[in-house]
Amino acid sequence: AQSVTQPDIHITVSEGASLELRCNYSYGATPYLFWYVQSPGQGLQLLLKYFSGDTLVQGIKGFEAEFKRSQSSFNLRKPSVHWSDAAEYFCAVGAGGNEKLTFGTGTRLTIIP
Amino acid sequence: NAGVTQTPKFQVLKTGQSMTLQCAQDMNHEYMSWYRQDPGMGLRLIHYSVGAGITDQGEVPNGYNVSRSTTEDFPLRLLSAAPSQTSVYFCASSYLQGVKTEAFFGQGTRLTVV
């Protein structure tokens, strides 16, 4: 069975600092990997996705993620965070038509001035 | 382009009542899914469908029923609401006739069972 681990429940970062959110997955074949962001009371917005090919994936809002098969990881990074990045971030793994996503428990990001 | 539309946005039910959460998509996606989101647990799959007339159970199906009579609609029925079903429910759609897509999510339905 597939699974996703986001080891950090809550991260606090200063505005302008760099950010890395960790995601480890367990899946028997090549997974499809996603990062979604959720602002309070809102739905989920896709930040970026990995289906195949280049292991460094660029997304919206200046985010990127790197797929490392040897480490079963898909960490999310941003070189300089903005106050508007404060939200909850979810890593997810899927396959096939992505009708059965498995999500991590999320990482809540707080930005301090 | 509406994407995935869920109604209602908010609902309060009494224990034992039944209701249907509506989900519609206008992207001609073949696959649709329902998830529930609870604090500290991420999103968990309730039921999913890979096409009209085809549904299957996900991780947490008990207490919920689904049907898929059209490509566009995938309603979720709570048969007899319980406080444990207090949650935020998200509908998603994906997969366009042989083309991989990510899952597109609706804005969610916040359900409280008292």
**pLDDT tens digit string along B27-83?**
999 999 999 999 989 999 999 999 999 999 999 999 999 999 999 999 999 999 999
Q: How far apart are CA A92 and CA B87, in angstroms?
A: 19
pLDDT at position B2: 79
Task: Name the residue in chain A with its Cα closest to that of B47.
Answer: A100
B111's CB contacts (< 8 A; 6+ apart) are B10, B11, B12, B13, B21, B78, B85, B86, B87, B88, B89
When pLDDT is averaged across residues A5-12 and rounded to a whole number, the result is: 97
In chain A, what residues touch B104 (CB-CB under 8 Å)? 46
Strands A32-38 vs A45-50: parallel, antiparallel or unpaired? antiparallel
Find residue A20's DSSP bridge partners.
A77
Assess whether pLDDT exceeds 90 at residue B11. yes
When pLDDT is averaged across residues A86-91 and rounded to a whole number, the result is: 98
Q: How far is CA A90 from the centre of its chain?
A: 5
- The mean of the pLDDT values for chain B is 95
**Three-state DSSP class for A3?**
strand
Q: How far apart are CA B13 and CA B31, in angstroms?
A: 29
Cβ-contact A64, B68 below 8 angstroms: no
Under the banding of pLDDT at 50, 70 and 90, the label for residue A95 is: confident
pLDDT tens-digit profile of A62-83? Answer: 999 999 999 999 999 999 999 9
Contact B103 A105 (CB under 8 A): no
Assess whether pLDDT exceeds 70 at residue B1. no
